[in-house]
Amino acid sequence: MQGYINNAAEYRSWAAMKQRCYNSKLKNYKDYGGRGIRVCAQWVVSFEHFLADMGPRPSPHHSLDREDVDGWYTPDNCRWATAKEQANNKRPPKVFQPSPRYRSPRHPWRSRA
């Protein structure tokens, strides 16, 4: 139990990672588990394996990040990153694609067809 106390921040990151991927009742599940993002077999069952692979957070300004935003939580795909680093590593926003029959709210008489 001492390891959890000494590494409380890392433990919270590990627990939150699992929740995002496996708890369908969470609001942000759709962005993780709902998209097929999972946790590698070693990490899902063992905080010790997670900590051995990731090491301690470099600073309180770092949090868990996946380098490939569509990839699983694995030792090869995860790092401790700052908010600035994470801001540069996001999925592209969804682009609105109007249907051919879409009518602009500002110009309802115009048709795009």
Position 51 scores a pLDDT of 96
Question: Over the chain, what is the mean pLDDT?
Answer: 85
Query: What's the DSSP call for residue 105?
Result: S
d(CA 45, CA 29): 19
Tokens 């996946």 correspond to 66
pTM: 0.74
12-17 average pLDDT score = 97
Whether the CB-CB separation of 84 and 66 falls below 8 Å is answered with no
Position 87 scores a pLDDT of 83
**Per-residue pLDDT tens over the stretch 37-86:** 999 999 999 999 999 999 999 999 999 999 999 999 999 999 999 999 98
